[in-house]
């Protein structure tokens, strides 16, 4: 059995409650509409806030006149960037993104906001705000933005193009590239990053076959169904409350306090129920605006984004332009790999290109590997995290090349991956050596699955791809309270975006040996628990789960002490077993077991309330691998793609609630299907977003996808007492590549540009026919 390396305990392999599939505790409220989401909160005297947004992709703001809006009856406050003064130590990029100052950097960038008695008045007020813009040249494409002669967004960002041309040649070509002098100059390239080891040049010389392609992906939005919403209430004595739909209310508290110059202790933030996040709710957009409006108006202010605003002004993920090269021996052994990744992250530095670079070749054991990444700014909204940020794009490019290598070598698509798969002891392409990981197990399970044996028909193709994600842990604080009737209240500080409350209940119940429904988990506000990191990085079932297990063990120890008091024996002579305190052997005495209800009844007499706590900055989140297999059929007349079968195989370490794990697998696959086949940000010549709504930005619906088959692999993570690994992000890493490989096989043409929408597929098929005719 594997060891829990931090606590030197044995990771159990048999469970009573963990691994079962009880009904989710939040399900009834959600399906009946009783659950309170961000927009469902209200307060006496509440105003509504509305935000004026730039209609230009890039424009200098020469003057803002708010006097007419302020004079309108029913308007209680108007703010601009002057009301959000930069505080010492605040993150200026977030502040400028929240409200433009000096320049509007993208279509939809907030420039002013009003609070009024109702939305009708607020909208009229927005129309009365006069802004004098000087429109500037803009750039929205990553390759165009990298050119030396591109419109520059920020003069303080500089780059040495000369060095690039010496190193990587052709990816920054512009009209001046041959005459550029050495040295740094203003640029949209905010960073250049390199990972890898060995000597790829030597490795490519040893290769019998080399595959190389250029790939492009478009930006896609997280597509959460619930738009951003919050209710802020700043009282006249400076105390403030905020109700908000977010993945991290402690982060919201700290960021807003920093931006607004508030004491952290004066701002209490409560996380509402959340209708999806996928990473997009790990930062702030409207929250500081609502607080600033409330502070100025002296009344509660609710701000709810429209879908148009969500698309134009909250983070999609990056778009990417990539070049990948892989060499292999005739037997399929990879000899070398290289990638150049260029990600645009919108108007501010911080695209996830480093994580794209680190994950690109993480599935493979490579002696000679090099990845160079460029972080590029463009006139688009500031990107936000989206499930495994940066990884799906680079996996699309790498796994596309791996698929083509298999074809050229006449190898099975899973066998070539098995031959090169990373395993325990492999030095990863980004540096650290892997511990126990489950890529091989996912590949073997995929190969055995019935889907892999189905014979394909005309215009059909099969795609395989693997993917990797790190998984994170972080700061976590948890409390479990014994209620007077013997049931338990568990308070965690990590918003539940994927069913984590059910998993917490299961783990607490497992520890105590009691039924699942005896534990109720809530998400406590920022004044009720110590700091908790954001619900991100697939960390919650791992880290909040770990904290729940140890808080419950703390509770058990206290319960045993109470039993010892009642029985008049030493604490060491009491064990906890099957939901009750029991004498530890015959020498401890002959006493009837004391259940939770018994101990709760005597709590006052034995010392008062009983609670368990645990606080940790956890590490040990085990990385996760997945393998996806997908069959598609392409209609050569319409260019439409139908997904016929889809299989997700992923290592969960230990599936606490298997239905939720399967739900994460399926959700990742469906989002990936949307990314590869339909979804894209479309910009016009004027730099404005052309499709900011679900009618024109088409995410998959049920009728677009088959039932997603799942296989849960369980290679225990030694860093968790039950062996748990995060599962929320890895499942979106392989689908871009898996579907693209399937479509490529169906078309007989390598697909290198996403989305592979019907017009692009028809163009590829027509081009193929023309080439055949020539």
Residue numbers of the site for another protein (CB under 8 A)? 191-195, 222, 277-280, 282, 354-355, 357-358, 373, 385-389, 430-435, 469-474, 533, 536-539, 617, 619-621, 719, 728-729
Q: Where are the beta strands (DSSP E) in 188-236?
A: 189-197, 209-217, 229-234
Which residue lies nearer to another protein by CB, 316 or 332? 316
Residue 500 tokens read as 């984590």
Q: How far is the CB of 473 from another protein (least distance, A)?
A: 8
Residue 350 tokens read as 């911080």
How far is CA 676 from each of CA 199, 429, 566, rounded to the nearest angstrom?
33, 25, 64
CB atoms within 10 A of CB 298: 15
Q: How far is the CB of 320 from another protein (least distance, A)?
A: 16
Which residues have C-beta within 8 Å of that of residue 519, sequence separation ≥ 6?
A: 480, 487, 488, 489, 490, 504, 505, 508, 509
CB atoms within 10 A of CB 201: 11
Q: How far is the CB of 726 from another protein (least distance, A)?
A: 8
Which residue lies nearer to another protein by CB, 316 or 755? 316
Q: How far is the CB of 688 from another protein (least distance, A)?
A: 27
DSSP line for 52-111: EE-SSSSEEEEEEE-HHHHHSTTEEEEE-GGGSPPPTT--HHHHHHHS--SEE-STT-EE
In angstroms, the CA 617 to CA 589 distance is: 40
Q: How far is the CB of 657 from another protein (least distance, A)?
A: 20
Q: Which helix (H) or strand (E) holds 448?
A: helix 439-448
CB atoms within 10 A of CB 677: 26
- The count of residues in the chain is 774
Residue 645 tokens read as 């079968």
How far is CA 478 from each of CA 267, 521, 558, 611, rounded to the nearest angstrom?
20, 10, 16, 10
Alpha-carbon dihedral 575, 542, 226, 645, rounded to 10 degrees = -110
Q: Which helix (H) or strand (E) holds 477?
A: strand 474-482
Quick one: which of 497, 386, 372 has its CA closest to 729?
386
Q: How far is the CB of 471 from another protein (least distance, A)?
A: 8
Which residue lies nearer to another protein by CB, 193 or 694? 193
DSSP line for 699-715: ---GGGS-PEEEEEE--
Which residue lies nearer to another protein by CB, 620 or 692? 620
Which residue lies nearer to another protein by CB, 442 or 717? 717
Q: How far is the CB of 766 from another protein (least distance, A)?
A: 37
How far is CA 725 from each of CA 351, 618, 712, rounded to the nearest angstrom?
26, 13, 12
In angstroms, the CA 399 to CA 380 distance is: 28
Which residue lies nearer to another protein by CB, 193 or 239? 193
Residue 595 tokens read as 């259940």
Which residue lies nearer to another protein by CB, 279 or 674? 279
Which residue lies nearer to another protein by CB, 114 or 391? 391
Which residue lies nearer to another protein by CB, 621 or 626? 621
Q: How far is the CB of 236 from another protein (least distance, A)?
A: 37
Which residue lies nearer to another protein by CB, 495 or 583? 495
Which residue lies nearer to another protein by CB, 65 or 619? 619
The residue behind tokens 């390759």 is: 143
The residue behind tokens 């298999």 is: 406
Q: How far is the CB of 719 from another protein (least distance, A)?
A: 6
Contact criterion met (CB below 8 Å) for 23 and 31 = no
In angstroms, the CA 243 to CA 260 distance is: 17
Q: SS3 for 240?
A: strand
Which residue lies nearer to another protein by CB, 196 or 687? 196
Q: How far is the CB of 121 from another protein (least distance, A)?
A: 37
Q: How far is the CB of 724 from another protein (least distance, A)?
A: 14
Which residue lies nearer to another protein by CB, 25 or 279? 279
Residue 64 tokens read as 């803002």
Quick one: which of 271, 389, 369 has its CA closest to 327?
369
Q: How far is the CB of 145 from another protein (least distance, A)?
A: 19
Q: How far is the CB of 317 from another protein (least distance, A)?
A: 9
Look up residue 171 and give its DSSP letter: G
Q: How far is the CB of 131 from another protein (least distance, A)?
A: 34
In angstroms, the CA 374 to CA 354 distance is: 8
Which residue lies nearer to another protein by CB, 133 or 396? 396
Contact criterion met (CB below 8 Å) for 401 and 325 = yes
Which residue lies nearer to another protein by CB, 48 or 357? 357
Q: How far is the CB of 192 from another protein (least distance, A)?
A: 7
Burial class (CB in 10 A: 0-12, 13-18, 19+), 703: exposed
Which residue lies nearer to another protein by CB, 550 or 567? 550
Q: How far is the CB of 552 from another protein (least distance, A)?
A: 23
Classify each residue of 17-49 as buried b or exposed e, where b means 16 or more C-beta atoms within 10 Å of its C-beta: bbbeeeebbeeeeeeeeebebbbebebeebbbb
């Amino acid at each position: 059995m594997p060891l829990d390396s931090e606590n030197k305990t044995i990771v159990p392999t048999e469970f009573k409650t963990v691994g079962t599939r009880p009904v989710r505790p939040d399900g009834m409220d959600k399906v009946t509409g009783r659950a309170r989401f961000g927009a469902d909160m209200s307060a006496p005297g509440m105003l509504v806030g509305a935000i004026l947004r730039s209609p230009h992709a890039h424009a200098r703001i020469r003057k803002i006149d708010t006097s007419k809006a302020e004079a309108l009856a029913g308007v209680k406050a108007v703010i601009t960037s002057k009301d959000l003064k930069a505080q010492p130590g605040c993150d200026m990029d977030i502040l400028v993104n929240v409200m433009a100052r000096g320049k509007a950097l993208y279509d939809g960038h907030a420039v002013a906001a009003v609070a009024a008695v109702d939305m009708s008045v607020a909208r009229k007020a927005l129309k009365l705000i006069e802004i004098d813009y000087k429109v500037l040249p803009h750039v929205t494409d990553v390759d165009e933005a990298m050119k030396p002669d591109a419109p520059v967004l920020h003069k303080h960002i500089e780059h040495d193009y000369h060095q690039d041309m010496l190193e990587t040649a052709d990816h920054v070509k512009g009209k001046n590239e041959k005459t550029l002098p050495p040295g740094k100059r203003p640029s949209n390239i905010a960073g250049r990053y390199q990972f890898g080891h060995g000597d790829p040049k030597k490795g490519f010389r040893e290769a019998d076959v080399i595959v190389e392609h250029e790939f492009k992906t478009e930006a896609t939005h997280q597509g959460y169904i619930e738009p951003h919403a919050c209710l802020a209430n700043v009282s006249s004595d400076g105390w403030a409350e905020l109700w908000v739909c977010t993945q991290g209310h402690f982060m919201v508290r700290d960021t807003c306090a920093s931006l607004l110059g508030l004491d952290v202790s004066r701002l209490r933030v409560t996380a509402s129920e959340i209708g999806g996040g996928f990473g997009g709710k790990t930062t702030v957009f409207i929250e500081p605006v609502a607080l600033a409006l409330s502070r100025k108006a002296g009344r509660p202010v609710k701000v709810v984004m429209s879908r148009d605003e969500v698309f134009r002004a909250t983070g999609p993920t990056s778009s990417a332009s990539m070049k990948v090269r892989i060499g292999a021996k005739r037997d399929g052994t990879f000899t070398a790999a290289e990638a150049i990744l260029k990600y645009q992250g919108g108007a501010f530095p911080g695209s996830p290109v480093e994580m794209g670079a680190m994950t690109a070749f993480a599935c493979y054991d490579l002696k000679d590997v090099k990845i160079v990444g460029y972080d590029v700014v463009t006139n688009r909204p500031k990107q936000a995290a989206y499930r495994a940020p940066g990884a799906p794009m680079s996996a699309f490019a790498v796994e596309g090349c791996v698929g083509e290598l298999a074809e050229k070598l006449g190898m099975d698509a899973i066998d070539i991956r098995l031959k090169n798969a990373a395993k325990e002891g492999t030095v990863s392409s980004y540096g650290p050596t892997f511990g126990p990981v489950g890529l091989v197990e996912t590949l073997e399970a995929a190969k055995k699955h019935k889907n892999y044996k189905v014979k394909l028909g005309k215009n059909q193709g099969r795609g395989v791809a693997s993917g990797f994600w790190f998984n994170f842990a972080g700061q976590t604080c948890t409390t479990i309270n014994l209620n007077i009737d013997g049931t338990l209240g568990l308070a965690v500080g990590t918003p539940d975006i994927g069913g984590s409350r059910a998993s917490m209940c299961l783990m607490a119940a497992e520890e105590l040996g009691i039924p699942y429904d005896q534990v109720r988990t809530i998400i406590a506000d920022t004044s009720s628990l110590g700091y908790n990191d954001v619900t991100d990085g697939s960390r919650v079932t791992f880290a909040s789960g770990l904290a729940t297990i140890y808080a419950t063990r703390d509770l058990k120890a206290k319960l045993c002490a109470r039993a010892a008091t009642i029985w008049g024996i030493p604490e060491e002579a009491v064990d906890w077993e099957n939901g009750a305190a029991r004498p530890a052997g015959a020498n401890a005495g002959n006493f009837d077991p004391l259940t939770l209800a018994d101990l709760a009844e005597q709590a006052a007499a034995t010392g008062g309330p009983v609670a368990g706590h645990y606080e940790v900055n956890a590490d040990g989140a085990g990385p996760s691998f997945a393998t996806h297999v997908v069959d598609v059929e392409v209609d050569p007349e319409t260019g439409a793609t139908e997904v016929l079968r889809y299989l997700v195989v992923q290592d969960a370490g230990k599936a606490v609630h298997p239905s939720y794990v399967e739900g994460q697998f399926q959700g990742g696959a469906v989002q990936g299907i949307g990314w590869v086949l339909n979804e894209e940000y479309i910009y016009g010549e004027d730099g404005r977003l052309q499709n900011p709504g679900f009618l024109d930005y088409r995410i998959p619906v049920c009728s677009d996808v088959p039932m997603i088959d799942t296989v849960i692999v369980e290679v225990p993570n030694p860093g968790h007492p039950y062996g748990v690994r995060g599962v929320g992000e890895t499942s979106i890493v392989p689908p871009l590549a898996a579907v693209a490989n399937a479509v490529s096989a169906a078309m007989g043409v390598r697909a290198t540009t996403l989305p592979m929408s019907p017009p692009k597929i028809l163009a590829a098929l027509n081009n193929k026919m023309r080439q055949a005719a020539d």
